Amino acid sequence: MTPPVFAHGHLRLYLLSLLAESESGMHGYELIQALGERFGGTYLPSAGTIYPRLAKLEDEGLVTKAADGRKTVYAITAAGRSELAARESELNGIENDVTDSVRRLADEVRSSVNDAMRTLRADLAAAAREARTEARASGQSTRADGDAHGQSRAQLQQAEAVLTDFRAAIRSELRMQLSRGELKREVVDQLRAGLDELRRSITAALKQ
């Protein structure tokens, strides 16, 4: 099970620190985006996670809220700044935990991409081996050649289906990552490098 990004009570303190950095206050959506930026797009909390904590901070007199058109602006109070000052060492520890969480979440993203590429590589290699085996078993006669050609076309269709499934799965992962914040360039570079390696591997297998 993936460990939580924030320990109990740490998210509310981190929200206070974000508000303390803003001179004019922040909307709830801006706080969510700010958290996403701090985590390099690997973590984006939901509104259901943020707003109850803001309401609790307001009840405790640590933040205020004011209407700004259809949105609500939250601002830290003097009591909130005193709370931050009193817990400065704890906040420093949270910053270190955030750094560790960013690295862990980035590793999970890379792992999911690598797993998908390994699965595709195995499926395509298996399809190539089956096609070669069936072609050799079919013999050299005209009829056998025709059968082998039909079987190869079936294998091609299977390979294309695997490619379509892979593209859809990776596209879904990338769009989900983008919806959470920022799609990191390192992930795209890794995807490009992995696909180049996969292309070379499959091309070599098909030539055997």
Domain edges within the chain: 10-86, 107-207
pLDDT in tens, the chain (208 residues): 344 567 677 888 889 989 998 888 999 999 998 887 877 666 677 888 899 999 999 999 999 999 888 889 999 999 999 998 998 888 877 766 666 666 666 666 666 666 667 777 777 766 766 766 666 666 545 455 555 566 777 777 777 777 777 777 777 676 666 656 566 677 777 777 777 777 777 777 777 6
For the whole prediction, is pTM greater than 0.75? no
CA-angle at 72, arms to 66 and 77, nearest 5°: 50
Helix (H, G, I), strand (E, B) or coil at 66: strand
Instruction: Give me the architecture of the 10-86 domain, per CATH.
Output: Orthogonal Bundle (1.10)
Distance CA 12, CA 152 (A): 60
